[in-house]
């Protein structure tokens, strides 16, 4: 009964950055080849590191290599010159990984009221 009154006993910290990154990846497909794509690289790589950090905090270690690899693949500092169907597919796979991680990475809620 107490969990109904106070809400769930866990929180999904990676959900918001996961959704934002998925949206950036989908919009990024439209901007491939333009100067604005570098902004997408910054957004995706930073949000990948944020989601990896939330995975570490929640002790979901298996997500960390996925998002470190995503941060490296979309990094703006030393960009990979990827193009074509494979790069377009990578955007969709990464977007699905961000959504899945946002839903599945959860940590116990640390409220003082409980």
For residue 110, give the 3-state DSSP assignment: coil
97 vs 11 pLDDT, higher one: 97
Q: What are the φ and ψ backbone dihedral angles of 11, each rounded to 5 degrees? A: -135, 150
Sign of the C-alpha dihedral computed for residues 49, 55, 61 and 62 taken in this order: negative
| Closest residue by Cα to residue 31 from 47, 12, 23, 62 | 23
| Closest residue by Cα to residue 74 from 102, 51, 58 | 51
Q: Residue 107: what pLDDT?
A: 86
Q: Residue 62: what pLDDT?
A: 93
pLDDT tens string 8-66: 788 888 999 999 999 999 998 888 878 888 899 999 999 999 999 999 999 999 999 99
pTM of the model: 0.85
């Amino acid at each position: 009964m107490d969990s109904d009154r106070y809400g769930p006993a866990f929180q999904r910290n990676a959900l918001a950055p996961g959704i934002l990154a998925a949206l950036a990846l989908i919009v990024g497909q439209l901007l491939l080849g333009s100067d604005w794509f570098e902004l997408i690289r910054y957004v995706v790589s930073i949000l990948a590191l944020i989601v990896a950090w939330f995975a570490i905090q929640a002790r979901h270690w298996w997500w960390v290599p996925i998002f470190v690899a995503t941060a490296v693949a979309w990094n703006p500092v030393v960009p990979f010159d990827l193009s074509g169907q494979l790069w377009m597919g990578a955007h969709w796979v990464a977007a699905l990984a961000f959504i899945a991680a946002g839903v599945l990475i959860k940590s116990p809620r640390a409220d003082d009221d409980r």
